[in-house]
Structure formats: C-alpha cells, structure tokens
Amino acid sequence: MEDCEGEDMIETPELPLEIIVYILSFLHASDRKEASLVCRRWYSASQDLRFQKDVTFCFPASSSALELIRALGRKSRCSLIISQLDGFSVSRSLLLEVGLCLGSKLESLALPGSSITEASLLALLPRLTSLRRLDLRGLDSLFMSGAFLSREEQRQQVRSALSGLEELDLSDLRYLSDLTFNRLTGCTPRLRRLSLGGCHIAFEFDPYRGCPVGAVEDSSALLSLRNLRRLLMEQKSTLVALDLSRTSITPESLRTVAQVQDLVLEELCLHGCKELTDYSVEVLVKHQPDLQRLDISACTELTNRSVDAVARGLKTLTHLSLSRDWRITEKGLADLLSVSSLRSLDLSECVHISGTEIVKGLTGPSATRAQLETLNLKSCTYIRDLSVFSLTQLLGNTLHELDLTSCVNVTDLSVRSIATYLQKLVVLRLGWCKEVTDWGLLGMVETTKCDLDHETGDKGPRFTRTFGNMGFFKPPRLPFDERPKLVTQRDLEQFKQQDGASLLALSRLQELDLSACCKLTDSSITEVVRYPDLHRLSLSMLPEITDASLASVAWHCRSLTSLALNHCPGISDRGVAQAAPYLKRLQHLYLSCCNNITDRSLFLLVQHCNRLRTLDISRCKNISVTTVDLLQSQLPFLENIHYRFIGGVDLTLAF
C-alpha cells in the first residue's frame, strides 16, 4: 500500500497471542500495565492467567472505587485490600458491590483501618463462596457489642460460604470473647492458619469473674485458653500455623497448647511474649518437633538454653527469629548452624553476638550445615570485619539477603568481601555503618591517609606558634580526627580500568540501604549505584552527596519504586529536574529536611511521577502549603503525604 506521499508501507502481520504473552513475561508488573494500553490484543495478553497469580488490588474506600470493583468483575479471580471503610452509605455501597460483582471470584479480603458495622459485613460474607483468606485485624466495631453472628440463620449462611476458608486473621481485637470467637470459628471448619496476635487472651486467671480460666463456660467478656484449646482440638487435622505474638501467654499455657494431641504445627509466632522462659521453649520443641518456622523474637527472658533446645529438637527448621533476645550470646550458635534445613536466621539486636560461633558452625561439610539465604545481624555491634569476611566466603553460593545495619565496626574491608563473594545478593543493608567510605564501594584500597600538613615522614619534633596544653610540640592526631583520603579523578580512572570487585558486582540487587554512611560522596555513588533491577534505595543522611548522585541514580536505576533522600542538604531542584523524567515507577519518595527543595520540585513530580503513593517533605522550609494542596489534587494514587513544618515554620513555637 502507499501513503499520501507515494511511499510504500508494509503492513506488519499480527503477532500470535502466545508470542505477546511470552514478551510480556519479561516485563515488570508496572510495565505490563503500560503495555496493556497499546491495543485490545495486548490488553488480552496482559490478562493471561500466568500474570494473575497472587495479584492483590489495594485501594481506600471512595465513590470512585465502585467502577474499579465493577471492572474487576471481569477477572476469573481476585484479592482485595480495602482501607478506611466506615458505616456511611459509600462504604455500604462498596461492600454491596463487592458481593454482587466479585462474590464467587474473591479469594482474599482484608479491611485494614476500617470501622464497619456488623450488618454490612454479614450482608457480604454469605456471597463470598470462594474466599480463602479473611483479615479482620483491628475491626473492634464488629465485636464491641458481642452480638456478632448471634442469630442461627446468620451462622448457617456464613458457614455455607466460608467452609473453604483457610486463613483467618483476628489480630489486635480488643473485644474478642469466647462467644464471638466460637461463633466465627464455627463457620470456618478447615482453618490452616489462625492469627490472634495482640488479642486479650486470659491464660491463667479470669479478672472479670475472679476465678481460674475454665471454671466458667464461654465468657462474653474475654477469650480464654480453654476455648483456644478447644478450637485446636477440633481443627487439629488442618491447622498448621498459629500466631500468638504480643500476648501474655505463660510457660504452662504454651505447654497446654503444644501438647494438644495430634496437633502438628509447622509455623508458630510468639513475638513479644515476654513471660516465656527457656523451659517453655524446651517443652515446645519436645511436643512440636515438626516446626519449620519459629519466631521467638523479643522474648527477653530467653537465654542460650533455648538456642540449644531448638538446635537439638527442630531438625526441619527453615526460619528462626531470635531478634531482640538480649540474653542470647555466642554459645550454642555453632550447633544451631548445623541444622542443614535452616534458610533464614534473624539475630538483630542480639548485642552479645560477634559472629565467631556462626562461622564455626558453617565451617563443616556443606551437607551438614545451614544453607542460609537470609541473615540479619542488625545492631550486633561486636560484629567486625574478620567475621564478615569469613561469612561471605562460607555463604557465597546461597546468601540472598544480608542486613548489617548499625554494625558500627564494619569497614571497607567488609564491603569489598561482600562485593567479591556474595554475587547473588538481592538485599543489602549497610545503614549507619559510619566507617564505610568511597574506597570500599569502589573496591579500592586506600593506600595513604589524609595528612593535613602533607608530611611524608617523621621529621622530628616541631614547635608550634602557640603554647597550648602546656607543651611546645604538636600533639598527636586523635582517632576521631582521621579522615579518609578524598577520591580524586585519577583514582576514578584507575577504578574504571581495574578488574577488582566493587559494589557494582552485585548486579542482582533489588534493595540497597546506605543511609547514614556519612563518609560517602558523589565519587562512589555515581560510579557504583548502577543496578537496573534496584527497587528500593536509601541514601538518607549522606551530607556529602549532591544533585550529581541523584541524577546518576535515576539514569541507571530506572526500576526504583522507593527512594529515600532525607537530610541530604546537597539535593536541590536541579537534581529533581534531572532525575524525575527517569523515575516513572517511583511510588515512595522521602525528602524531609532537604532545604534546597522548593515548589518547583513538586511541579516536576506531578509532571513525571504520577504513580507516587507516599511523599515526605517535612521540614522543607521552601515549600508552600498551596503547592502541596495542588499536588494532592493532581496525583491520583497519593495516599500519604507528610508535610509538617514546611514553609519556614518556626520550630521553637511548635513545641
């Protein structure tokens, strides 16, 4: 065919739908969304079932959400998180529309931050015949009266719809009682996961009746251990995961739960259960040896006896959290690391850990030691370079996530060993490692130290102009006066030519935290932070970086969804202008205390970053409230905006 100028034009044949689906499979989810707008055929390809697995739609309650729910009715299955529901007409209409359009297709429903009425939920639940997960966390309005599901006909309707429910989250319900708990769980006979974290459960004594728990049947005021045990006995054939975190469970109560006959738990969360002791962990391990995930973090009475019990008794354990168990020391960690099934270990804020026993436990044959994929050593201040160097060599083939936040003795040597041996890292957190410098990120050795007097050797004593400190000689330089030698242009040229491992070698990184590594400058950030798949980056509290770093990051890391630049005084409107056109996927941006950011940056964000959901511009003195209001009206997905003390507010008058 010919166009209007007489030139030949060749019609492109239509690609088969399978080929388009294959092409889209290489794209990030947000890019698939953009590609689906090309034409009807590309939209059909983007709706292929392989792209619809575990997709959850999250949105606040509003009148505009009604159209979204109707559109979702065309999908074969769906999961929803609807926030900020209340008892008014818009919320009631929204829930009614969910039941009408998605009733038989909805697999998961969560209602965080809501305050709905019993009537609204009871009108919805009978329609959700395919529901597998129900999240009622914090919905006190449902249980305050104690009349929820009090009528038999209501329970029958709900029971017929929720007979296939597998996960039920009842965390943080202040008014949950035996009566309401029994009514609801009686409608869900095949539960696999139950969460009661933060609920007021009476384990030993009923304060309302002044008698031991269990002496009175079915309390209308609180949830009792007797009632929980009854549920465990009834659903022991299906229940595999239980969350009792932040409750007042006692050692005897935990023994009662663990000893339920034929109950085989695979996951147990006891985070923040401060009354638990080593004895309770020993009993738990004895009666539940098939546990695969165990969270006993913030149980402050636990010691190394618990670690020994876990190492001896849980031979199929894959995930263990000991975070904030301050009494735990190195003892027993070597045996724990000999559990070959262990994949994730959280020792954050275990302040007595130095890493020596971890290394010892990992030095055995690979078949008999843990193949860790995740290791969290946050705030383990005794961790030093030698331990990190040994760990990186031992875990080089398996480790995907490493957290060394606030390990204040970690230096450039650790960074170079990470870059050399941990090539499969996906997540790296080095926040508050203040000894890390440009040299470490660049993979180079600092051969000389900064000498303010440019001295090349010891020339003997030298008089000073003053007689301070009762002496005539120049005092020795103190450790805190030492500063790393600045990286020069010549050093950068050498870096580009060398084969040594810099942080650039971690090509799979999706999350990087360098916040408060205050010795870092543009020299390393512009040369090293070049990760095409990086999603989350924190450069907060780096006083030496400038717009050059921001522009370089935006150009080389176009997959960023979260960027933190709090307390970076060198970042200005110029940097935002250079970066914004390349940050199309950005959803969370943190710019608090960046005083060189003005209204111009907000206009640029409106123009280029229309997917923003969170923005923090607190204490930015050159931003006006009027521009913030305009920003909120122009960005359709913006949910959270923090703008305290903007516009040059006098902070002395605010407190």
| 362 closest CA partner among 378, 340, 377 | 340
pLDDT of residue 327: 94
| 265 closest CA partner among 296, 284, 285, 239 | 239
Q: Which residue has the higher pLDDT, 537 or 50?
A: 537
pLDDT of residue 539: 97
pLDDT of residue 46: 84
- Using the predicted structure, report yes or no on whether residue 52 has a pLDDT greater than 80: no
d(CA 540, CA 293): 33
3-state SS, one letter per residue, for 175-193: CCCHHHHHHHHCCCCCCCE
Question: Using 50, 70 and 90 to split pLDDT, how confident is the model at 213?
Answer: low
- Give 181-233 as a DSSP string: HHHHHTT-TT-SEEE-TT--EESSEETTTTEETTSSSS-SS-EEHHHHHHHHH
CA separation (Å) from 41 to 53, 402, 524?
A: 20, 42, 45
**Mean pLDDT, rounded, for 178-196:** 95
Q: Is residue 599 part of a domain?
A: yes
Q: Which two tokens stand for residue 564?
A: 């933190």
pLDDT digits (tens, 9 = 90+) for 107-118: 999 999 899 999
Question: Using 50, 70 and 90 to split pLDDT, how confident is the model at 497?
Answer: low
The answer to whether 201 and 171 have CB atoms below 8 angstroms apart is no
Q: Which two tokens stand for residue 598?
A: 């003005």
d(CA 423, CA 620): 39
The answer to whether 608 and 585 have CB atoms below 8 angstroms apart is no
pLDDT of residue 485: 56
Query: Backbone phi, then psi, for 84, in 5-degree steps?
Result: 65, 35
Residues 6 or more apart in contact with residue 651 via CB below 8 angstroms: 619, 645
Q: Is 167 exposed, middle or buried (0-12, 13-18, 19+ CB in 10 A)?
A: middle
The answer to whether 280 and 306 have CB atoms below 8 angstroms apart is no
pLDDT of residue 466: 45
Question: Using 50, 70 and 90 to split pLDDT, how confident is the model at 456?
Answer: very low
Tell me, what CATH number does 608's domain have?
3.80.10.10
Q: Is residue 472 part of a domain?
A: no
d(CA 379, CA 613): 30
**Mean pLDDT, rounded, for 447-453:** 46
- Using the predicted structure, report yes or no on whether residue 55 has a pLDDT greater than 50: yes
- Specify whether the backbone of 14 is left (phi greater than 0), alpha (psi in -120 to 50) or beta: beta
d(CA 314, CA 296): 14
- Looking at this protein, which amino acid is placed at residue 459? K
**Mean pLDDT, rounded, for 197-210:** 71
The DSSP call for residue 104 is T
d(CA 562, CA 578): 17
Residues 6 or more apart in contact with residue 471 via CB below 8 angstroms: none
Question: Using 50, 70 and 90 to split pLDDT, how confident is the model at 653?
Answer: very low
Alpha-helix residue ranges (DSSP H) falling in 314-411: 333-336, 356-362, 385-394
Residues 6 or more apart in contact with residue 223 via CB below 8 angstroms: 176, 177, 178, 181, 196, 199, 200, 201, 202
Q: Is residue 123 part of a domain?
A: no
pLDDT digits (tens, 9 = 90+) for 367-426: 788 999 999 999 999 999 999 999 999 999 999 999 999 999 999 999 999 999 999 999
pLDDT of residue 401: 98
The answer to whether 333 and 370 have CB atoms below 8 angstroms apart is no
**What's the structural domain count of the chain?**
2
- Using the predicted structure, report yes or no on whether residue 6 has a pLDDT greater than 70: no
- Using the predicted structure, report yes or no on whether residue 468 has a pLDDT greater than 50: no
pLDDT of residue 469: 47
pLDDT digits (tens, 9 = 90+) for 221-232: 789 898 999 999
Q: Is residue 39 part of a domain?
A: yes
pLDDT digits (tens, 9 = 90+) for 247-288: 999 999 999 999 999 999 999 999 999 999 999 999 999 999
Domain around 28? 15-51
**574-601 CB burial, b ≥16 within 10 A, e <16:** bbbbbbbebbbbbbbbbbbbbebbbbbb
Which of 201-205, 285-289, 453-457 shows the lowest per-residue confidence on average (mean pLDDT)? 453-457
The answer to whether 181 and 227 have CB atoms below 8 angstroms apart is yes
Q: Which two tokens stand for residue 217?
A: 């049947």
| 202 closest CA partner among 191, 216, 183 | 216
**Mean pLDDT, rounded, for 166-172:** 96
pLDDT of residue 32: 83
What is the bridge-based pairing of β-strands 293-295 and 319-321?
parallel
Question: Using 50, 70 and 90 to split pLDDT, how confident is the model at 64?
Answer: confident
Q: Is residue 543 part of a domain?
A: yes
| 432 closest CA partner among 515, 348, 511, 525 | 515
pLDDT digits (tens, 9 = 90+) for 546-555: 999 999 999 9
The answer to whether 183 and 151 have CB atoms below 8 angstroms apart is no
Residues 6 or more apart in contact with residue 207 via CB below 8 angstroms: none
- Using the predicted structure, report yes or no on whether residue 4 has a pLDDT greater than 60: no
Tell me, what CATH number does 27's domain have?
1.20.1280
Alpha-helix residue ranges (DSSP H) falling in 320-453: 333-336, 356-362, 385-394, 412-421, 438-442
- Using the predicted structure, report yes or no on whether residue 655 has a pLDDT greater than 70: no
d(CA 634, CA 636): 6
**42-64 CB burial, b ≥16 within 10 A, e <16:** beebbebeebeeeeeeebebeee
The percent of residues above 70 in pLDDT, for the chain, comes to: 86
Q: Chain-wide mean pLDDT for the chain?
A: 87
pTM: 0.85
pLDDT of residue 333: 94
Q: Is residue 606 part of a domain?
A: yes
Question: Using 50, 70 and 90 to split pLDDT, how confident is the model at 472?
Answer: very low
The distance in angstroms from the start CA to the end CA of the chain is: 75
Which of 49-63, 168-182, 291-305, 470-484 shows the lowest per-residue confidence on average (mean pLDDT)? 470-484
**Mean pLDDT, rounded, for 620-627:** 93
Structure-token match 């950068």, residue found? 492
Q: Is 287 exposed, middle or buried (0-12, 13-18, 19+ CB in 10 A)?
A: middle
Question: Using 50, 70 and 90 to split pLDDT, how confident is the model at 450?
Answer: very low
Sign of CA dihedral 184, 189, 195, 197: positive
- How big is the chain by its Cα radius of gyration, in Å? 29
CA separation (Å) from 248 to 58, 254, 265?
A: 33, 10, 20
Q: Is residue 23 part of a domain?
A: yes
pLDDT digits (tens, 9 = 90+) for 558-606: 999 999 999 999 999 999 999 999 999 999 999 999 999 999 999 999 9
The answer to whether 291 and 281 have CB atoms below 8 angstroms apart is no
Q: Is residue 538 part of a domain?
A: yes
